[in-house]
Amino acid sequence: MEKCCCAEVKHKHRDKDGKEYKGLISRLNRIEGQVRGIRRMVEDDRYCVDIMTQVSAIQAALGAFNKELLAQHIHSCVVHDIREGDDKVVDELITLLGKMVH
């Protein structure tokens, strides 16, 4: 993992041929399709309850995406930074978890 230390912006260079990357992209593609489907439902004046049901499905899919990305982040970035002696990553993780739990 390489980092850019400019303005404390971190970048992870993902293995774009890796299973984890492909899984994240696949999830995002499905979510994108679901959002387009909802737009069509609104344009077609579909029943509100049906639209809201689909919105809930997207929220659940985004939650699953976030959980997977968080797990990858902990296993790679967080572990790496702690091993390198950068304990600030723990505070960053705590702040992130606070934003995720609402």
pTM: 0.79
Residue-wise pLDDT for 35-70, tens only, equals 999 999 999 999 999 999 999 999 999 999 999 999
Contact 71, 100 (CB under 8 A): no
Residue 55: inside a domain, yes or no? yes
Which CATH number does the domain housing residue 94 bear? 1.20.58.1000
Range of the domain at 88: 21-100
- Residue 10 located in a structural domain: no
Give the total number of structural domains in the chain.
1
Give 7-20 pLDDT, tens digit per residue. Answer: 355 666 677 778 99
